[in-house]
Chain A
């Protein structure tokens, strides 16, 4: 027995020793452990080759996932092999985790698309259309005449429209497809008008140049660009309402700064996958994480505490938490930090007038300088609200109001400096007078609106009885004080009084004690950390009809506790990839502002509500959602009437605008010899000219041409899919709804007995893969993927701008979007030269936010000229009427060069105008200049790289000179120091080459409200808080109170709880939870998918393998048992809007009474024929439809004024219900 260490045993040793008898190759060591051989490493070739690539290219994914992850794309022998995560993000500093790793399995699967069967490789045209077009061209010779030959002939038009979505796309050449598209544009503009042409492409931040490509063309020809943020229901209307700003949110690195984090409606690990690590890491720093979610969502497992709230009742929980915060931190005990914060940065101390109604009072308008004898003559007096100085007790008009933002006297005074004034929060003092105010409530079980009476302390100012917003807030939240009568809550356990913790328990199912405790912890943390409590919110709470009220209740929490404008605190609203950081440069290119202003920008939701005829199926009037405290301002109006009203008052944009071609309208005015605006006003007055919104079903008011790129309208965002198919496209649909009866029809909007089908003449899509949209398109052009073009990408989630780069040239016949639209523009101009030439266009422009237009409606009083309440005055009581001269033959040249309007007018973003002449000179040198043509001497935009450089050079976030210049301009208005914020980068110009080398941090700029100065993490409103720059609101502060007529009508002047819509009452759907012959009726939610990003990746082989694949609906085991459904069974979900066939995923993760169908599963994977309709079984949006909330249509008043993707009616879809039943398991396709 040897003591030396040996191998396993003597047998093994003997075997190894015997090796020399069998082979001489290699040398066995004395200890028998190792074999040493020479050579024989051929197998290494495999892994060496596996990791040897011809090149590695930086690119990213333009998919609206908010990840904005930079990737390495590997190319071998000219073939893209795969991608891996980039790791070179600039460090965020020594005391935090880093941004890398960024990337998720979906992104890692992208390269599959390059060579996948779903790739669009060639231009395709619907065969029957192409045949008729060719026939027309043979007959007429001219492409435009050939297009007219098809579309102006009813039978021919019918033939190809009815064929949409039924296959039959045939290959065409680029030349022929583009010629047809160009002819369609020329014909439509000539015959119907440029505003009958529309373009849809969302989320510029996800690929700015690609977005700008078609948007630039659409804008230059005078077409309408359709908004996306409101349409996606991602736009939180509460953000303009409260902040006067849209979705300025912290980067994910700022989650690390939070001490208390509530995830409320945002499933971070699933939908913010590359950022989720911040949340998990911050917990190790002591952060408490609370999740509010109806289901056991993926983020719940990260939470210290889970509040399982009933779907759509989040507002009730937030209101109860607000009740606790107000009670414990404002009334029982004054919290200095909260008091100081709310006095300075919110409207809580401002005075609201009370109007006597019967034996009670109702909160009315803000008291403004115009109501004070001493101030009534000051400039913009109606827009300078008033508060009481606690020291003198006298009313004062603080700086920083909307009235200071514009006009001469406001210069240097638009700031939050209160001087010696100490605003009085409450009027309650011993012996104070009080009155009962009537406040709306909506929490009755049957949904009928009610009201409450609660006393508030009051004071007489002049002839007005006033109270403060703070006193109204306490009344609204039900927090009583000694000496105040009314229906105040007796204690937290008072379940009858809104908004106590016990009251919310009955609504939400969250235990009262838990709600109170979380509220207390949230506020306590904010107090101790000075505002580092954060609510991370998103689609789950933002896609409801009344989400603006849910969000105001959330923002109430973050604002009362002084968390807004503080790193690590406040709202963190994440929906789409909204933040196009170099916003100014992108906007100039995208809307052709360098050549023509103003562009046409349309609110998308109202557009489809009217043009897909969903308004015809609305069986309730607009005042159904009014409060019991309303005064009938919406009585007798249908929602379509409200849209028309908003349009003619100039509140919201409306395109097509008039019932005739705006080019002809200009000619008409010209012939009459009068200025166009006067002519239009006269014709409107005498009724010979009408708004198109008042008759959307008249053929002259149809949208005629729609281009879609970087989007999947019919597979992803098109709420009311079956309405689209029937009325817009004119093809088969499974629509089951019945139209409104005579008594329910619009009052002002014209009703046609026969609803039109197939309004749209041309649906053009550009995509790199087949989607639900391309299969319905008339022309599909093959696009380059994200690995085949140059572009720029930014996100809300991190502060970097980085690039797309082509790993390979666009393969087959694909082209980049920039190229494709240049091609279309060139052909268009060629055809337009003979057919259109130079024409004058009449553009109706709504009253715009961040301009003096916001002062058009003092006190938010509704004045409709059509009802004789005022005169039609363009720019005041109706849209501005602006003429634009369009040289249609020059559009091709204009596309390819940066136009001269920039030299003259500069650029304007959020009210700050920049002189960009230096940038133009720089771009001349950088991009080269154009020779000859309409754009001679201008900087070139011929290539996508040129466009990237132009975006970077024209934005403050990427050009330090502009950032400092902008702050200096702003300083003249605010009178406070700002430009030092950008001074550290004044000389810095981020170039496209910089973004190719590595992600580049952006520069602090007045385009946004937060600061990255000194490398700090971005959090919104830090400039407002730290530099006393006002919010863009009426008071210049964050608003709890809104005094617009329609807001008051809806009972939403203050934060309030409104339950989900009752679809049984509105549309006669079966009652929720009931089980009948047809199945069980359940709430139908369409949240985001774990295995896809919208419709992208769900058709990807890898993701199909990871997930169940095909369309699925998640339901609880209890609901499934009611209708005998087992996991993976085929089911049918049916409601009045349509039918969906899917497989059931039965899981106890789901709450009873609710099903989830992950949105945008698209119709291309495994969608069988439905038993209910006999047609192919629909998509998630087959069960939804558009519902427009009237208050979203408000405009022309302070922060409630239109700007593109800033404000507009949301395309919400969460209030829907569906009946689910098991179907035959034998499916056919």
Chain B
């Protein structure tokens, strides 16, 4: 059972995530979109969207720090467990709260604003459900696990994080997860579910975030390619000039 939950399922989800994106990009380029609803409503969006998105950036950064950086590295840098803990909890709380509040606004908006709700697909609804559950569980882990220490203290950096890195290294150690508290287990499982759904939802826009716009002038001139025309040269036809 542990192997199924913490080895088979995660890899299946990861595979779906990777292959799914490839498929989506290959066959649905015109559907690769945020499905923006700004046209239908913008007052709530203006509040909810930045809150959620910047909150999520923090959350993702926290996860990178927590999951990918081994405890030995921070120890080596001389960061004490307590310091790390305080930074993580405070950062996590702030980012998490932003994400939760932003998400609440967005979901409220999506349900109550008619045109926006009409533009909501079934896939959107499923995705929102997963996203909400993942975030709430994450918050729960932060608040209940790290601050209130409900059910005893758990250092995820010695359990979940290690398992996660072993998973990424393709040498998964299921027992590490099996021993984790139920909150972390659920959070991880639902998160993998979300990853599996990812390529089939509007979440693909994460990979098209227009980061370059930050530094790009508004006007872009593109000269012709050195090769003539933009199309591949066809068999039997020789370019002139």
Contacts and interface: CB of A to CB of B under 8 A. Distances in A.
B151 interface: no
A682 B76 CA distance: 127
Contacts of A48: 230-231
B224 interface: yes
Interface of B: 212, 214-226, 230-231
A35 B217 contact: yes
A38 B225 CA distance: 6
Contact of A15 (B214, B218, B223, B224): B214
Interface stretch (A39-47, A264-272, A1150-1158): A39-47
Main SS of the interface on chain B? Answer: loop
B219 to A, nearest CB: 4
Contact of B225 (A22, A29, A41): A41
A273 B214 CA distance: 49
A18 interface: yes
Contacts of B216: 16, 19, 35
A301 interface: no
Interface in A389-434: none
B217 A41 contact: no
Contacts of A92: none
Nearest to A34: B219
A44 B230 contact: yes
A33 interface: yes
A18 B215 contact: yes
A15 B225 contact: no
Nearest to A27: B221
A10 interface: no
A36 B216 CA distance: 11
B223 A39 contact: yes
B225 A16 contact: no
Contacts of B231: 45, 48
A37 B221 contact: yes
B28 to A, nearest CB: 14
Contacts of A32: 217
26 contacts: A7-B217, A15-B215, A16-B215, A16-B216, A16-B217, A19-B215, A22-B215, A29-B217, A33-B217, A33-B219, A34-B221, A35-B216, A35-B217, A35-B221, A36-B220, A37-B220, A37-B221, A37-B222, A38-B222, A38-B223, A38-B226, A39-B226, A40-B222, A44-B230, A45-B230, A48-B231
- How many A residues touch the partner, as a band? 20 to 34
A695 B217 CA distance: 88
Given A33-B218, A34-B219, A41-B225, 20 more contacts: A15-B214, A16-B215, A19-B216, A26-B220, A29-B217, A32-B217, A33-B217, A35-B219, A35-B220, A36-B220, A36-B223, A37-B222, A38-B226, A39-B225, A40-B222, A40-B225, A41-B224, A41-B230, A42-B230, A48-B230
A22 to B, nearest CB: 6
Given A15-B214, A45-B231, A48-B230, A39 B224 contact: yes
Contacts of B212: 23
Contacts of A45: 230-231
A34 B223 CA distance: 13
B215 A36 contact: no
Contacts of B224: 39, 41
Q: Which of the listed residues A7, A33, A41 has the most CB atoms from chain B within 10 Å of its own CB?
A: A41
Nearest to A45: B230
A53 to B, nearest CB: 15
Nearest to B215: A19
Contacts of A36: 220-221, 223
A38 B13 CA distance: 40
Contacts of A19: 215-216
A159 interface: no
Contacts of A22: 215
A645 to B, nearest CB: 63
A39 B228 CA distance: 10
B170 to A, nearest CB: 32
A750 interface: no
Contacts of B215: 15-16, 18-19, 22-23
A457 to B, nearest CB: 73
Contacts of B218: 7, 33
B90 to A, nearest CB: 28
Nearest to B212: A23
Q: Which of the listed residues B214, B216, B222, B225 has the most CB atoms from chain A within 10 Å of its own CB?
A: B222
A40 B225 CA distance: 7
A12 to B, nearest CB: 9
A153 to B, nearest CB: 56
A29 B219 CA distance: 10
Contact of B217 (A18, A34, A38): A34
Contacts of B221: 34-37
Interface in A839-888: none
B208 to A, nearest CB: 14
